[in-house]
Structure 1
Amino acid sequence: MELRHLRYFVAVAEERNFTRASERLFIAQPPLSRQIQQLEEELGVSLFERGSRPLKLTEAGRFFYAHAQQLLGKAADLKTMTQRVGNIERTLSIGFVASTLYGKLPTIIRRFRLEHKNIELTLHEMTTMEQIKALKEGKIDVGFGRIKHEDPYIRRIVLREERMMVAFPVGHPLSELASSVKLKDLVTETLIIFPKSPRPSFADQVLGAFIDRAIQPNKILEVRELQIAIGLVAAGEGIAIVPASVQRMKRDDVLYVELDERHTVSPVIFSARLMDKSDELSSLLQLIYAIYDAENIPHIKEDL
Structure 2
Amino acid sequence: MELRHLRYFQTVAQELNVTRAAEKLHMAQPPLSRQIRQFEEEVGVALFDRVGRGLRLTEAGRFLLEQSLQLTQRLEETLESTRRIGRNEKRWFGIGFVPSVLYGVLPELIRELRGDDSQVEVGLTEMITVQQLEALKSGRIDLAFGRLTFNDPAIVQQVVMAESLVAAIPGTAPTPTAPFDADALARQPLILYPARPRPSYADHVLSLFRGQGLQPRVVQEANELQTALGLVAAGLGITLVPSSVQRLHRDDVRYVPINAPGFVSPVIMSYRSGDTSPYLARAVAWVLQQA
TM-score after normalising by structure 1: 0.65
Runs of 5+ consecutive residues of structure 1 not aligned to the other structure: 1-83, 293-298, 300-304
Task: Give 3-state SS (helix, strand or coil) of 1:181's partner.
Answer: coil
1:194 equivalent in structure 2:
193
Report the alpha carbon displacement of residue 261 of structure 1 after superposing the two structures with TM: 1.4
Deviations 1:224-267 (A, max 9, x none): 11000001111110000000011011011111111101221111
2:171 equivalent in structure 1:
170
Distance between the aligned counterparts of 2:261 and 2:118, measured in 1? 42
Query: Any conservation in 2 of the 1:191–1:217 contact (CA below 8 Å)?
Result: yes
CA-based RMSD: 1.7
2:110 is the alignment partner of 1:143: no
Report the alpha carbon displacement of residue 112 of structure 1 after superposing the two structures with TM: 1.6
Query: Any conservation in 2 of the 1:223–1:229 contact (CA below 8 Å)?
Result: yes
Amino acid paired to 2:136: L
Distance between the aligned counterparts of 1:176 and 1:249, measured in 2? 21
* Moved beyond 4 Å, runs of 4+: none
Deviations 1:153-212 (A, max 9, x none): 111111111111111112424x3322x111210222211011011111000111111000
Query: Any conservation in 2 of the 1:112–1:287 contact (CA below 8 Å)?
Result: no
2:237 is the alignment partner of 1:227: no
Deviations 1:74-103 (A, max 9, x none): xxxxxxxxxx9x966322111111111111
> Which of the two has higher C-alpha Rg?
2
2:156 equivalent in structure 1:
155
Distance between the aligned counterparts of 1:288 and 1:127, measured in 2? 19
Task: Give 3-state SS (helix, strand or coil) of 1:219's partner.
Answer: strand
2:215 equivalent in structure 1:
216
Distance between the aligned counterparts of 2:152 and 2:219, measured in 1? 30
Distance between the aligned counterparts of 2:105 and 2:143, measured in 1? 16
Query: Any conservation in 2 of the 1:144–1:269 contact (CA below 8 Å)?
Result: yes
Runs of 5+ consecutive residues of structure 2 not aligned to the other structure: 1-84
TM-score after normalising by structure 2: 0.67
Distance between the aligned counterparts of 1:262 and 1:123, measured in 2? 34
Distance between the aligned counterparts of 2:236 and 2:286, measured in 1? 40
Equivalences for residues 70-109 of structure 1 within 5 A: 89-109=90-110
2:250 equivalent in structure 1:
251
Identity, % of aligned positions: 43
1:282 equivalent in structure 2:
281
Amino acid paired to 1:130: Q
Task: Give 3-state SS (helix, strand or coil) of 2:144's partner.
Answer: strand
Amino acid paired to 1:252: D
How many residues are paired up?
A: 206
Distance between the aligned counterparts of 1:212 and 1:220, measured in 2? 20
Deviations 1:113-142 (A, max 9, x none): 003221111111111100100111111111
